[in-house]
Chain A
Amino acid sequence: MAGSNKINITPPRWLLAELTYACPLQCPYCSNPLDYAKYPSELSTDDWKRVLSQARKMGAVQLGLSGGEPLVRRDLSELIRHARELGYYSNLITSGYGLTEERIVELRQAGLDHIQVSIQASTQELNDHIAGTTSYEHKREVAHLVKKHGYPMVLCVVIHRENIHQMQQILEMAEELGADYLELANTQYYGWAHANRDLLLPTQEQFEQAEAIAQAYKERVAGKMKIYYVVPDYYEDRPKACMNGWGTTFLTIAPDGVALPCHSARELPGLDCPNVNDYSIEEIWTESKAFNFFRGFDWMKEPCRSCDEKEKDFGGCRCQAYLLTGDMYNTDPVCSKSPNRHVVQEAIDSAKSASLAPGEKPLIFRNSKNSRDFA
Chain B
Amino acid sequence: MTIDPDKNIRFSPTHRLQWEEAQQKDVILYPEGMVELNQSSAEILKLCDGNRKPQQIVDELERKFETTGLRNDIIAFLEVALKNGWIKQD
Binding site for B on A (CB under 8 A): 11, 13, 57-59, 61-62, 64, 87, 89, 91, 113-114, 116, 150-152, 154, 180-181, 223, 226
Residues in B whose Cβ lies below 8 Å from that of A13? 34
Pairwise interchain contact A89-B29, C-beta atoms closer than 8 A: yes
Pairwise interchain contact A113-B22, C-beta atoms closer than 8 A: no
Q: How many chain B residues touch the partner (CB < 8 A)?
A: 17
Q: How distant is the Cα of A150 from the Cα of B18 in the complex, in angstroms?
A: 19
Residues in A whose Cβ lies below 8 Å from that of B27? 61
A241 → chain B closest CB, angstroms: 16
Q: How distant is the Cα of A114 from the Cα of B32 in the complex, in angstroms?
A: 9
Q: Does B72 contact A (CB under 8 A)?
A: no
Residues in A whose Cβ lies below 8 Å from that of B30? 89, 114, 152
Q: How distant is the Cα of A180 from the Cα of B83 in the complex, in angstroms?
A: 14
Q: Does B7 contact A (CB under 8 A)?
A: no
List B residues 53-90 near A (Cβ within 8 Å): 83, 85
Q: How distant is the Cα of A84 from the Cα of B14 in the complex, in angstroms?
A: 15
The residue from A11, A57, A59, A154 contacting B31, defined by CB atoms under 8 A apart = A154
B13 → chain A closest CB, angstroms: 7
Pairwise interchain contact B14-A152, C-beta atoms closer than 8 A: yes
Residues in A whose Cβ lies below 8 Å from that of B20? 59, 61
List B residues 1-39 near A (Cβ within 8 Å): 1, 13-14, 16, 18, 20, 22-23, 27, 29-34
Q: How distant is the Cα of A87 from the Cα of B29 in the complex, in angstroms?
A: 11
> 16 interchain pairs (CB within 8 A)?
A57-B22, A59-B22, A61-B22, A61-B29, A61-B34, A62-B33, A62-B34, A91-B31, A113-B16, A113-B29, A113-B31, A114-B32, A150-B13, A151-B14, A223-B1, A223-B85
